Structure 1
Amino acid sequence: MKLRKLNRIVHAQASSDGAGVKIQRLAGRDLNTALDPFLMVDEIRSEEGADYIGGFPSHPHRGFETITYMKQGRMRHKDHMGNEGVLAPGDVQWMTAARGVIHSEMPEQSEGLLHGFQLWLNLPAAEKMLPAAYSDYRHAQLPVVELGDGSWLKVIAGTYTPLAESSQKAKAVASPIPQGTTEALYWDLQLAPGASWQAAIPATHNLAVYVYQGSSTEAQGMSLTARQLGLYGEGEGLNLQAGSEGLNALVIAGKPLKEPIAQYGPFVMNSSAEIEQAIADYQAGRLVAG
């Protein structure tokens, strides 16, 4: 079993989106190939209401999926299909924009800690113009694997299969969220100080780890710290070793689409002509038409 090695470290960049919401963002053309099929990783984390109260008023999407995961605080979602709900701590929203969605995401609080993540997951060309879909998953629906000594793993998407010899008797644990073409893995990992952890990762997948608290120490002397994304090379397994303060990280992996990417704001297609069509459809009110 070949363990993957950390090849590259990327720092999240302070940015803002929506109505002035302050975020940490990892995105851009430079990362499209390395993260494929993922397009973007955003983190919102602030105790200051002024940093997030404006939220994300009504806006469109086409051509990909958004995965919103709340750690603390509450976020209300509304879309053109009549879906509406509130994400509480631990909840996940999986929205397939596909042909088109117009929606809003607004905080349900004006003060206190708001902490969450949104990932953009690309769709293959054959699925970009399918009807939109939406699902909420509550914290209790998503399995949490206790790893001992205060360490745990939340399986948001995909199947977790342990590798470590001490865990050989443990069974694979699967998320209830249906797998798409990209067969995405999305896990939230907490390791106690100094703890180590291993998991199987399909050799077909690109792999990245985003540290949002604490640090990890890699075998080759490299380390990942908060607000850093690690990009890993080829292999069938991942080993992480927590630093002295422990580790909290998102582990994401997916089968790359290896298709051209054309993006203009909230539209992600395969060509500039398709982007122009998306803009024209939105301006003419056709974006969400059947």
Structure 2
Amino acid sequence: MSLRPTLETRKARPTMEGAGVHLHRAFGFQDPTELDPFLLFDDFRNERPEDFIRGFPWHPHRGIETITYVLSGTVEHGDSLGNTGRLGAGDVQWMTAGSGILHQEMPQGNANGQMHGFQLWANLPASLKMTAPRYQDVQGKDIPEIIDDDGTSVKVIIGSFWGKSGPVDGIAADPQYLDIFVPAGKRKTFKIDTYRRAFAYIFDGSGKFLDASTPQGVLLEKEYKGEELNIRDLSGNRTLVRFGTGDEITVQAGPNGIRFLLISGAPLQEPVAWHGPIVMNTQAELQQAMRDLRNGTFIKPAH
């Protein structure tokens, strides 16, 4: 077995999208090879309704799949196929934009006005860029959760893990998407297919990931003067950890435990031509998509 090295840790950066939604972006719109087949990851956590209530009005997508996971609050959605739905806490939505879709996503806070969720963009291979659009909404109660003897819990959203399979399937990138909590002070090892790119996104608690090159681990904490290590709560820190190659990771939880998403997928290794919500393989395909938007032929008839 080989421990995956930690290539990089970085904080998600604040940005604004849609009609004025304040969110944090862990990656996206930079180097598409970095975490191929994944293109973008957003954390839309907010305490103030005025920072998210205007939502994401009607906009196009082509050439990608989006996976939305809601932790608190709700998201109302509708699309050009006539689909409508409401995602609540714990629910997941998978959308294959394929040949083209127009949709809107309108968040609502919970009883305390809080909203929290994640959106991941997965690239489609050239052979499926123009596939028919599809939607799948999955309720939280249908997502298997495994609780280990030491209190570690894993929600299997996509893929298979510890003998359970997630309810979302058919995604071209064939990702594994896990929501993991490791209790205070526990050390836990998780297997990852050697041929997949992988990252973790820490959104609550604190801890460290052990690294083969630095066995003491890459600390996700703040070190104070002297010998004392004060591991601070990372609930507002939004830390991305990008891993190198190997077939496992090991995490050491801090005094309040650590909760993170562990996401991996097989790289496509294809050229990327990207403009906003449209991701194709060539500039010619991208320009055709723009022409389709202008002349009203973006949405293709169902076969």
- TM-score, normalising length from structure 2? 0.88
Deviations 1:152-190 (A, max 9, x none): 1111101113xxxxxxxxxx1111222433220111111
Deviations 1:241-272 (A, max 9, x none): 11222111111100000011111011011111
Alpha-carbon distance change, 263 to 179 in structure 1, aligned in 2, over 3 angstroms = same
Alignment match of 2:261 (pick from 241, 250, 267): 250
State the partner residue of 2:139. Answer: 138
| Structure 1 unmatched ranges of 5 or more | 162-171
State the partner residue of 1:126. Answer: 127
State whether structure 2 residue 198 is matched by structure 1 residue 202.
no
Say whether the 8 Å CA contact 1:160–1:199 is kept in structure 2.
Answer: no
Shift of the alpha carbon at 1:199?
Answer: 2.0
Matches of 2:281 and 2:293 in 1, distance apart?
A: 17
Deviations 1:51-80 (A, max 9, x none): 101000010000000100000001101001
Matches of 1:283 and 1:106 in 2, distance apart?
A: 25
Q: What is the RMSD computed on CA atoms of the aligned residues?
A: 1.5
Superposed counterparts of 1:26-45, under 5 Å? 26-28=26-28, 30-45=30-45
Superposed counterparts of 1:41-56, under 5 Å? 41-56=41-56
Shift of the alpha carbon at 1:23?
Answer: 0.4
Shift of the alpha carbon at 1:31?
Answer: 4.1
State whether structure 2 residue 233 is matched by structure 1 residue 222.
no
Say whether the 8 Å CA contact 2:63–2:279 is kept in structure 1.
Answer: yes
State whether structure 2 residue 70 is matched by structure 1 residue 79.
no
Aligned residue for 1:181, secondary structure, equals coil
Identity %: 40
Say whether the 8 Å CA contact 1:94–1:135 is kept in structure 2.
Answer: yes
Matches of 1:207 and 1:216 in 2, distance apart?
A: 18
Aligned residue for 1:104, secondary structure, equals strand
- TM-score, normalising length from structure 1? 0.92
Single out whichever of 31-40 and 50-59 deviates more from structure 2: 31-40
Q: In structure 2, give the amino acid aligned to 1:205.
A: R
Say whether the 8 Å CA contact 1:199–1:239 is kept in structure 2.
Answer: yes
